[in-house]
Amino acid sequence: MAEKQAGTAKVEPLRKTRPCAECGKPSVREHYPFCSDRCRTLDLSRWLKGSYAIPVADDESQAESEDGNI
Ligand SMILES: [Zn+2]
C-alpha cells in the first residue's frame, strides 16, 4: 500500500475550487459548494428565511394599505 494513495486529505482536485457561497473560503467536495457543513446549514437557513420573508399574499395587501391608507 503506497502512502501516497492512503490518505485522501491531501488530494487536490484538478478543477478550481469555487469559493464558499457563505464565507468565501475554498469549498470542499464533501460540502460543495460550501467549505463546511456549517456554512451549508447557514446558507440553507438564510434561504429559508428569505422565502419566508417574502410572503406573496402579504405583499399585495401591504402595497394597497401603503398606497391608499386613509
Ligand atoms: Zn464557508
Say which residue the cell 482536485 belongs to. 13
Tell me the residues surrounding ligand 1 (ion) with CB < 5 Å: 20, 22-23, 25, 35, 39
Q: What is the DSSP letter of 19?
A: B
Sign of CA dihedral 9, 10, 16, 17: positive
**Residues 33, 27 contacting (CB under 8 angstroms):** yes
Q: Which domains does the chain have, with CATH numbers?
A: 15-50 (3.30.50.10)
- The number of angstroms, rounded, from the C-alpha of 47 to the middle of its chain's C-alpha atoms is 7
The residue type of 30 is E
Distance (angstroms) between ligand 1 centre and the Cα of 1 equals: 34
pLDDT in tens, 34-63: 999 999 999 989 888 887 665 566 555 555
pTM, rounded to two decimals? 0.48
